[in-house]
Amino acid sequence: MPYLAEFVGTLLLILFGDGVVANALLSKSKGKDSGNFMITAGWGVAVAIGVYAAGHVSGGHINPAVTVAYAFTGTFSWALVPGYLLAQLAGAMVGSWLVYMTYGSQYQATDDAGTIFATFATSPEVRHTRNNFITELIGTMVLVFGVLAIFAPGNHVDNPAGPALVGLLVFGIGMSLGGPTGYAINPARDLGPRLMHAILPIRAKGGSDWKYAWIPIVAPLVGGCIGGLLYGVYSAGF
């Protein structure tokens, strides 16, 4: 069932992705202070595992921006979009809860609210609505364009290599474009854990920054559609 596959794939994405952030940032974690490279590499692996888990059943979108972009460009049915988006959001929430269950003692030993929040959702280093929006838009535009390019028929990429290459693409986006906002590039990846941050009983967690939350939802949806359209125009010339 494609909805179940999207749920599981997104769950694994967040379990591995938010998990590596928790490992690198939380007090008393054995991976503390491992640095941005480990976090970025961990998110690349997270995407690859999520796509491997779901790809052969649902296409492995694990991202509302990808789902909406495919529907917007006519390669995916709009009728399936609501179910995909709900499954992705639910998977992200459960994945975030599993990270909390894994690192429960480390959360309780951490006093810094910003550190705790970073293991759930994204926030900009410099708050500037226009620039933050553009950053997330560009990152997701590159993501969708890159995914379509990887799986272009002429590249002869099939399942054994495809998800790993998508993970490598996300690793590259994080290393190159992730500095300003933390590269959500996925509405479910940000909203699901943000909801869990608001719900879970974590000592010293602080607020969930809902004033910023619309940017990692709207900007990736817009950027994904632009990326899909740009790839369509680009590939039409070949």
CA atoms of 119 and 134, how far apart (whole Å): 23
**DSSP E strand boundaries for 20-66:** none
pLDDT at 155: 83
Q: Please name the residues in contact with 172: beta carbons below 8 A apart, sequence gap of 6 or more.
A: none
Question: Which structural domain range is residue 164 located in?
Answer: 2-235
- Is pLDDT at 154 greater than 90 in this prediction? no
We report the CATH number of the domain holding residue 181 as: 1.20.1080.10
> Please, are residues 145 and 227 in contact by the beta-carbon 8 Å criterion?
yes
- Is pLDDT at 45 greater than 90 in this prediction? yes
Per residue in 170-184, pLDDT (tens digit) is 999 999 999 999 999
Q: How confident is the model at residue 55 (pLDDT cuts 50, 70, 90)?
A: very high
- Is pLDDT at 145 greater than 90 in this prediction? yes
Q: What are the DSSP calls for the chain, one per residue? A: -HHHHHHHHHHHHHHHHHHHHHHHHSTT-TTTT--HHHHHHHHHHHHHHHHHHHHHHH----SHHHHHHHHHTTSS-GGGHHHHHHHHHHHHHHHHHHHHHHTHHHHHT---HHHHHHTTS---SS--HHHHHHHHHHHHHHHHHHHHHHT-GGG---TTTHHHHHHHHHHHHHHHH-TTT-----HHHHHHHHHHHHHS--TT-----TTTTTHHHHHHHHHHHHHHHHHHHHHTT-
> Please, are residues 24 and 33 in contact by the beta-carbon 8 Å criterion?
yes
Count: domains in the chain = 1
Q: How confident is the model at residue 158 (pLDDT cuts 50, 70, 90)?
A: confident
> Please, are residues 118 and 203 in contact by the beta-carbon 8 Å criterion?
no
Average pLDDT over residues 16-27: 98
